[in-house]
Amino acid sequence: MTQTSTNSGAFASALRAVAGLPAPELLKDLRARGRESFSTLGLPSRRQEEWRFTGLKGIEGEVFESPAAVAPRIDVTPWRVSNARLLVFVDGIFASDVSEIGDLPDGVVVSNLVLGATSGSEAVAQHLGSLAPLEEHPFAALNTALITDGAFIHLPAGMELDRPIQIVFVSGSGKRATLSAPRILIVAEAGSRATVIEQYIGDGASLSCPVSEIVIGAKAVLDHVVVQEENLSAHHLAVRQVQLAADSRYSAQAISLGGALARTDIGVVLDGERAEASLDGLYLGDGSQQVDTHLTVRHASPNCKSHQLYKGILAGRAKSVFNGRIVVDQDAQKTDARQSNRNLLLSEDATVNSNPQLEIFADDVRCTHGSTVGQLDEEAVFYLRARGIGHDDAIRFLTLAFAGEILGRVPVAELREHLDKVVAARLASIADPKGIE
């Protein structure tokens, strides 16, 4: 395709630079596959259905700088969950000096990916690159082509970790727009249990295209909170792929607050009987922000449950896309799948494209989906005002309550408090009538 050579030019120098970097053979092989795939796929165009509503103008014109070889020192104290095992990456580079992993039980690995790959981990060899849609998704391909490091978590069978694991990705530390392609691999063996926080922060212009691959073994439980609170000039294009074995459970909250463009493509495969996946999301958009979620949940086995509740609050000229797809394979009888996308529009110029889709090939299933786009309940606004609460405060109250349903599900109290504050502050500026255009 001719578009390839022109629109992937922004990454040419980064791709060349990364290709020359030393790395374990495993990563080098993956990079080669990624480069090949990306050179075929190129950056997506709006002619492709999956990218129809996602504007990439902000990326196409930019020249992104390869990250420095050594991470600059950075203070992540404001984001730190005090009892968490901490991994910090700056523009994709592992910042070992500020990471605090602590002592780990036997067999547990919480480390950077390079260490995991060089130590000859079976889990890395087996799973890295096995789930991400490398051949179909341009940013999964780009991430793979640029792979230098990332986070690796391995829980051996039966291991339950009490303390959460927090992975903080700081982007935009350079003077020019930086590019980072962090990779995350989580392998939770049978019967293990952990909570993982994946957090994106940063002040400068940047493009981050993280890819997460998550393998959940039989009867394992993984709680996963993904927080994207980069600055408003950041571009964030994430791909997450999750695979669940029988009787396992995956529970995730995705909170998307920052970024000029923030898009996450999530794929979940319920690949064993009685597996359960619950995915909740909250996204805020203001000004000219765009925030997109593309979600595919595939029921590949019988008796599995999945549910999603994604809520959006959009003001200014913000745009949002929610593509939610539930696929039920022919053998996946007794599937229980529910999906709901609810959007609150705080301005007339904000737009939402919500497309829930069901593709059902089994006959004995219970599947529901729906989406709503609306304003605040005027009767509720009046009720608050009639008790003495001012109009603007009433709107803030109700908007925060709308968000609170998702924030309340975040399983780490300290993180929940942080998010309550950040979201309240964001809503205070959004719900300020002067801020509504």
Partner 1 sequence: MKNGSLLELKNLHVSVDGNEILKGIDLTVNLGEVHAIMGPNGSGKSTLASVLAGREEYEVTAGEIHYANQDLLELDAETRAREGLFLAFQYPVEIPGVSNTYFLRAALNAIRTHRGEEEIDAMDFLALVREKVKLVKLDESLLKRPVNEGFSGGEKKRNEIFHLAVLEPKLAILDETDSGLDIDALKIVAEGVNSLRDPERSFVLITHYQRLLNYIVPDFVHVLIDGRIVRSGDRELALQLEDQGYEWLEVEPAQAAGA
Is 313 an interacting residue with respect to partner 1 (CB under 8 A)?
no
Q: How many CA atoms lie within 13 A of 183 on its CB side?
A: 31
Residue 349 beta carbon to partner 1: minimum distance, rounded to whole angstroms: 24
Question: Which one, 142 or 403, has the nearer CB to partner 1?
Answer: 403
Residue 416 CB, shortest distance to partner 1, in Å, is 14
Size of the site for partner 1 (CB under 8 A): 23
Nearest CA-CA partner of 322 in 277, 372, 278? 372
- Integer angstrom CA distances of residue 173 from 71, 158, 231, 305, 396: 9, 39, 12, 41, 33
11 near partner 1 (CB under 8 A): no
Sign, Cα dihedral of 186, 189, 190, 193 = negative
Tokens of 42: 């190129």
Phi and psi at residue 37, to the nearest 5°: -65, -45
Per CB under 8 A, the list member of 270, 402, 419, 422 interacting with partner 1 is: 402
Q: Decide: is 384 part of the binding site for partner 1 (CB under 8 A).
A: yes
Q: Which is nearer to partner 1, 169 or 397 (CB)?
A: 397
Please identify, among the stretches 37-45, 141-149, 211-219, 389-397, the one whose residues bind partner 1 according to the rule CB under 8 A: 389-397
* Beta-bridge partner residues of 271: none
CA pseudo-torsion sign 310, 180, 175, 16: negative
413 lies in the site for partner 1, by CB under 8 A:
no
Question: Which residue in this structure is represented by tokens 């303390």?
Answer: 163
Least Cβ distance, residue 112 to partner 1 (angstroms): 39
* 404 binds partner 1, rule: CB under 8 A: yes
Asked if 380 interacts with partner 1 (CB under 8 A), we say yes
Q: Which of 107, 385, 421, 425 binds partner 1 (CB under 8 A)?
A: 385
Computed on alpha carbons and rounded to an integer, the radius of gyration of the chain in Å comes to: 21
Q: At closest approach, how far in Å is the CB of 434 from partner 1?
A: 18
Do 42 and 3 meet the contact criterion of CB atoms below 8 Å apart?
yes
Q: Does 428 bind partner 1 (CB under 8 A)?
A: no
Nearer to partner 1, 136 or 405 (CB): 405
Using CB under 8 A, pick the residue from 25, 379, 433, 434 that binds partner 1.
Answer: 379
Residues 6+ apart with CB under 8 A from 339: 297, 306, 307, 308, 324, 326, 356, 368, 369, 370
| Binding-site member from 62, 273, 393, 420 for partner 1 (CB under 8 A) | 393
| Among candidate residues 212, 227, 224, 226, the one with its CA nearest the CA of residue 258 | 227
Distance CA 339, CA 122 (A): 36
- Nearest distance from C-beta of residue 342 to partner 1, angstroms: 11
398 binds partner 1 (CB under 8 A): yes
Pairing of strands 193-202, 211-216: unpaired
Check binding of 421 to partner 1 (CB under 8 A). no
- Residue 432, interface with partner 1 (CB under 8 A)? no
**According to CB under 8 A, which one of 32, 125, 401, 425 is a site residue for partner 1?**
401
Is residue 100 at the binding interface for partner 1, with CB under 8 A as the rule? no
Contact 227, 197 (CB under 8 A): yes
Using CB under 8 A, list all residues that contact partner 1. Answer: 377, 379-380, 382-391, 393-394, 397-398, 400-405
